[in-house]
Amino acid sequence: MKLRSRHLLGLEETTASEIKLILDTAESFREIIERPIKKVPTLRGVTVLNLFYEPSTRTRISFELAEKRLSADTINFSRALSSVTKGESLKDTVKNIEALKINMIVVRHASTGAPYFLTQCTGSNIINAGDGRHEHPTQALLDMFTIRRKYGRLEGLRVVLVGDVKHSRVIRSNIWGLKTMGASVAICGPSTLLPYEVEEFGVDVYTHLDEAMDGADVVNVMRIQLERQQAGLFPSMREYTRLFCVTKERLKLLNKNYTIMHPGPMNRGVEITSEVADSSSSVILEQVTNGQAVRMAVLYLLSGKQREE
Amino acid sequence: MKKPKYDLVIKCGRVIDPALGFGSEADVFVKDAKIVKITRMSKATKKEISALPEENIIDASGKLVTPGLIDMHVHLREPGREDKETIITGCRAAAGGGFTTVCCMPNTTPAIDNQETVKFVLSRAEDADARVYVVGAITKALEGKELAEIGDLVAGGAVAISDDGSYVQNPEIMRRALEYAKMFDIPIITHAEDEFLFAGGVMNESYEGTRLGMKGRPAVGEVIAVLRDVRLCDFVGGKLHVAHVSTAGAVEAIRQAKKEGVNVTAEACPHHFTLTDDEIGKEFDPNLKVNPPIRTKKDVDAVIRCLVDGSLDCIASDHAPHSEEEKDVEFDQAPSGMIGLETTLGLVKTQLIDKGFLSWADAIRKMTVNPARILRLPGGTLEKDSVADITIIDPDKKWTVKKDNFRSKSKNSAFIGWKLSGKVFCTILGGRVVYRS
């Protein structure tokens, strides 16, 4: 079993057997990061560029650690310190760095399709670490990995994704991945943050959190950004919190053995209370650890698919 | 030696002139850059033309002979962005696409918001391969704040005014513009997209936009903008022309307004009757980025329906050249617009005529007499004594759109690689052959 593509651009086109392969592979890497010496020689001689056009803490560190633990050489690019501020285009930036003979690019960019654009102008394997509001496949993979570790399956579970659906690439990738793996998916957020024709995703759509959480197994809470309120999409943070904050009282609506997730960074007391975030059902830090294993798996599987000349 | 009686004879073509209601095989005779007559060739004329040099006779057997096509909506980028297009290269593209007349929009740098710039453009166009008419600005620098000197623009030669590229967002300014333009009997061409509703949007707001997570330019933004301008036009009078209509709602608004007798006309672009927004996610081709954006199948169907029923009067390309450097970037970073002068005829044939929506006569009407009447241009017909602008079309010629074959300085077409049917065979400007395939 192999991945079909030499890139990971999103989960919409990724099949169930490919997702299963990535998650299964991640299990063995998960074991490696529990060892005293957390390093394997798998990617020795492979150079990976972490190309981050948007600010990121956890995803960038997670990828970098994953690369280092696989013995790859890594270079980090961040927009603020680069020639982009001198007006260099994405294409030229990448071609210049690629001329230094790199093999893989992990890219985060504010434009939908930027990772696809890179597949057309470079020879490297491209891993999407978040493009615009489009996809963030490794985040969804690590979310699924975390769920699967707890329940031993994804199929038949009810997962609720709460928050800013309109602007969230994490929600989009989770929708594709979870649906493909046979989970039942619900989304919930203020109607101004549900994008046009959202029901076409083939998920249950809610604007009342109590209804969305009723009978669910997993609640994955997304960060709400202050700038959305400033753009007039909802009246105040106070009202958002009243309507959409995952509180201890609301947990009663969930099935037994429920799970609380958040991709971070959290606004404690806004979309999730500290009490819930720090509770025994919360796997928020586990997600972070698992993220490394999943990214190691993705890097490993794609590195085996170098350019077919 | 006796001077020949004709400078040019186009023989044996099927002449289609919707203005004259003409549509049968005939010969067209040109003298002194004017049409002399259209007739079935008699024995006497056969003899007359036998003395003509061979290059003065064009055999149009199996071809269509139409009035020179008019594209009432192009961007020639001069002055200011001569790297993308100049008046000369834009007119070469026009000739290569079968257009003998183009109307250029004022969003240049500086904008065509004053008489001097109108005159500059017209002077640059003197030796070009197409006639250029200028659309002046509605407001100074197209900022939507103060009226441009519309009287001066018209005196300099402007045939209409428009802030194309931007909507005149302030309804009071638009009202005054419509009122003021009445004095000069010129239409106002509106780029109808409400700026508050599309702020930052890069593609249609639809499930496709939702799936890709791209910020939307909703259809309702166009509908509202059209409705407002139609109501203002109804209230104060004047002539309104709606550019590049892209949505089902807007075509319906125009259809309804026409029924009520409002003095409104409208145009559709080939990309809006051909492309749908689900193309974008396939390769994120920045050439698919255009304002107003390409919409859904429902909108495409409505645009075609209203081309058929006549609610949409004209077909225009909205030829919008952009350099390769500017377009070869992430989709949402790319400038909006695509070139169209050289693909419009082929798309009209392939998408509208071959699919049975329009007859050749209907299609030619929308690219000749209709725009000529709206803008009160000479031409658009082969009537006796009119200017000898003639397009000869090879109606079933199969061809592939190739990047290297564009005569335009820019290559930003979403149709590269498309196989089309119908191509210009020869373009004649004032009796002079400016393009021959």
Distance between A14 CA and the closest CA of chain B, angstroms: 15
Cβ(A204)–Cβ(A185) under 8 Å? yes
Distance between A38 CA and the closest CA of chain B, angstroms: 37
pTM of the model: 0.93
Mean pLDDT of chain B: 96
CATH class of the structural domain B68-375: alpha beta
Distance between A134 CA and the closest CA of chain B, angstroms: 5
Which pLDDT band, with edges at 50, 70 and 90, does A66 fall under?
Answer: very high
For B309-359, how does the pLDDT look when each residue is reduced to its tens digit (9 = 90+)? 999 999 999 999 999 999 999 999 999 999 999 999 999 999 999 999 999
**pLDDT value at position A305?**
73
- Residue B37: pLDDT above 70? yes
**pLDDT value at position A306?**
61
Mutate to test the interface with B, among A11, A111, A134, A222 (most CBs of B within 10 A): A111
In terms of pLDDT, which residue wins out, B42 or B277? B277
* Whether B214 and A132 lie within 8 Å, measured CB to CB: yes
Helix (H) or strand (E) holding B314: strand B314-315
CATH class of the structural domain B8-65+387-436: mainly beta
Please, which residues have CB within 8 angstroms of residue A146's CB and are 6 or more apart in sequence? A261, A283, A286, A287, A290
Which pLDDT band, with edges at 50, 70 and 90, does B244 fall under?
Answer: very high
**pLDDT value at position B48?**
76
Q: Which of B70, B72, B134, B69 is nearest to B107 (CA)?
A: B134
3-state secondary structure chain A: CCCCCCCECCCCCCCHHHHHHHHHHHHHHHHHCCCCCCCCCCCCCCEEEEEECCCCCHHHHHHHHHHHHCCCEEEEEEHHHCHHHHCCCHHHHHHHHHCCCCCEEEEEECCCCHHHHHHHHCCCEEEEEEECCCECHHHHHHHHHHHHHHHCCCCCCEEEEECCCCCCHHHHHHHHHHHHCCCEEEEECCHHHCCCCHHHHCCEEECCHHHHHCCCCEEEECCCCHHHHHCCCCCCHHHHHHHHCECCHHHHHCCCCCEEECCCCCCECCCECHHHHCCCCECHHHHHHHHHHHHHHHHHHHHCCCCCC
Estimate the crossing angle of helix A58-69 against helix A284-303, to 10 degrees.
Answer: 50
Query: DSSP alpha helices (H): ranges in B309-435?
Result: 324-327, 344-347, 360-366, 369-375
Number of other residues whose CB lies within 10 A of the CB of residue B183: 11
Q: Which of B192, B97, B84, B102 is nearest to B138 (CA)?
A: B192
Residue of B nearest to A176 (CA): B211
Tally the C-alpha atoms within 13 A of residue A161's C-alpha that lie toward its C-beta: 30
* Whether B211 and A112 lie within 8 Å, measured CB to CB: no
Residue B346 near chain A (CB below 8 Å): no
- Residue B103: pLDDT above 50? yes
Comparing CB atoms, the residue among B216, B329, B332 nearest residue A112 is B332
Q: Which of B243, B247, B200 is nearest to B224 (CA)?
A: B247
**pLDDT value at position B1?**
55
Q: What's the full length of chain A, in residues?
A: 309
Residue of B nearest to A175 (CA): B211
* Chain A residues whose beta carbon lies within 8 Å of the beta carbon of residue B283: 116, 120
Residue of A nearest to B325 (CA): A89
* Whether B331 and A112 lie within 8 Å, measured CB to CB: yes
- Residue B223: pLDDT above 90? yes
* Chain B residues whose beta carbon lies within 8 Å of the beta carbon of residue A133: 213-214
Angstrom CA distances, B184 to B60, B73, B377, stand at: 41, 20, 14
Distance CA B300, CA B271 (A): 9
Decide whether B8-65+387-436 matches B68-375 in CATH topology: no
Location of structure tokens 């407001």: B139
DSSP one-letter code for B300: H
For B270-314, how does the pLDDT look when each residue is reduced to its tens digit (9 = 90+)? 999 999 999 999 999 999 999 999 999 999 999 999 999 999 999
* Whether B213 and A132 lie within 8 Å, measured CB to CB: yes
Find the mean pLDDT for residues A261-282. 96
- Residue A309: pLDDT above 50? no
DSSP string, B232-258: HHHHH--EEEE-S---HHHHHHHHHHH
* Whether B212 and A195 lie within 8 Å, measured CB to CB: no
Which pLDDT band, with edges at 50, 70 and 90, does B412 fall under?
Answer: very high
Find the mean pLDDT for residues A145-155. 98
Residue B221 near chain A (CB below 8 Å): no
Q: Is omega for the bond preceding B79 within 30 degrees of 0, making it cis?
A: yes
Q: Specify burial of residue A276 (Cβ count, 10 A radius: 0-12, 13-18, 19+).
A: buried
* Whether A113 and B205 lie within 8 Å, measured CB to CB: no
- Residue B50: pLDDT above 90? no
Q: Domain limits of chain B? A: 8-65+387-436, 68-375
Report the percent of chain B where pLDDT is more than 70. Answer: 100
Estimate the crossing angle of helix A16-32 against helix A137-151, to 10 degrees.
Answer: 70
Which pLDDT band, with edges at 50, 70 and 90, does B2 fall under?
Answer: low
Interface of chain A against chain B, CB under 8 Å?
12, 89-91, 109-114, 116-117, 120, 132-135, 167, 169, 172, 195-198, 200-201
* Chain A residues whose beta carbon lies within 8 Å of the beta carbon of residue B206: 196-197
* Whether A196 and B206 lie within 8 Å, measured CB to CB: yes
Which pLDDT band, with edges at 50, 70 and 90, does B67 fall under?
Answer: very high
* Chain A residues whose beta carbon lies within 8 Å of the beta carbon of residue B209: 195-196
Catalytic member of B313, B318, B389, B394: B318
For A69-112, how does the pLDDT look when each residue is reduced to its tens digit (9 = 90+)? 999 999 998 877 777 767 788 888 888 888 889 999 999 999 99
Q: Which of A104, A94, A111, A95 is nearest to A54 (CA)?
A: A111
Residue B54 near chain A (CB below 8 Å): no
ipTM of model: 0.88
Comparing CB atoms, the residue among A91, A117, A172 nearest residue B213 is A172
Is residue B318 part of the annotated active site? The answer reads: yes
Mutate to test the interface with B, among A84, A90, A112 (most CBs of B within 10 A): A112
Residue of A nearest to B204 (CA): A196
Find the mean pLDDT for residues A38-53. 94
Chains A, B: CB contacts within 8 A come to 67
**pLDDT value at position B4?**
80
Residue A152 identity (one-letter amino acid) = G
Cβ(A223)–Cβ(A163) under 8 Å? yes
Q: How far is CA B34 from the centre of its chain?
A: 24
Residue of B nearest to A89 (CA): B329
- Residue A62: pLDDT above 70? yes
Report the percent of chain A where pLDDT is more than 90. Answer: 85
